[in-house]
Amino acid sequence: MSTQQRRLLFLLFLVLFFEGCATRYPLGMKEEQWQALSPQQQAEYTTKQYQIDEERRKRQEEYRQQKEREAAEAIRLEKERILQLYRNARYGDIIQVNISGGSIAFIGERKGYEPLSFDLVRGERKRIPFYHHDKQITYSTDIWVAYNNNAFYFDVGDDQKYEHSTDKIVILDNGRWDEGETFHPKTLDKSTDSQAQGIKIFIRY
């Protein structure tokens, strides 16, 4: 088969493809405009549309890859920032948090969970996994927490402006965190990620 024959077959395929799309014709043409064209013109217009679609696809792929690179760089910079905070931390800049008791939501239903402990440095916001074990099944849910402005924040969501949100738990440093203290915060309603109820939060430097 010659190159010319292969090209004609390819163009015919494109024509048949666009004809199979009942409501779409190349270059935004209406059906009557399309039907008025000769087969050769239809093939040319179909080729133009294919080229336009291919260029659009390439631009979209380049945009997607650029966003992925930007997101990866943002994550890298945030990790480096947190690492520097830990390296330069002074007394009171790092808190140990223990959470136990009560229940939080797993797949929308409040259940008990495995007690856990973690550290936070002042200025850090991170996602903490909670686990519920039910026979041979383990459920997990991630809750965002933060430590900033002399306060511990629980269930702040994936929002950099979490301090302005009202649907969260906030525990202010009362001057006794150096000795450690247990708090019994409010119940969070079902619009929150955790729906935390009856939990105990222990905090100390």
* E-strand stretches of 101-199: 104-106, 109-111, 116-121, 124-134, 137-148, 151-154, 169-172, 181-183
Task: Check residue 15 and give its pLDDT.
Answer: 56
Q: For 8-17, 84-93, 151-160, 187-196, which range has the lowest pLDDT when averaged over its residues?
A: 8-17
Question: Cβ-count burial of 134 within 10 angstroms (0-12 exposed, 13-18 middle, 19+ buried)?
Answer: exposed
Task: Check residue 10 and give its pLDDT.
Answer: 61
Q: Which residue has the tokens 């080229």?
A: 51
- pLDDT tens-place string over residues 21-44: 445 788 888 888 888 888 898 888
pTM: 0.70
Task: Check residue 165 and give its pLDDT.
Answer: 72
Joined tokens for residue 98 = 């223990």
- pLDDT tens-place string over residues 105-118: 999 899 999 999 99
Q: For 10-19, 102-111, 126-135, 152-161, which range has the lowest pLDDT when averaged over its residues?
A: 10-19
Give the whole-number percent of the chain exceeding pLDDT 90.
60
- pLDDT tens-place string over residues 120-154: 999 999 999 999 998 889 999 999 999 998 999 99
Are residues 139 and 107 in contact, defined by beta-carbon separation less than 8 angstroms?
yes
Joined tokens for residue 1 = 């088969």
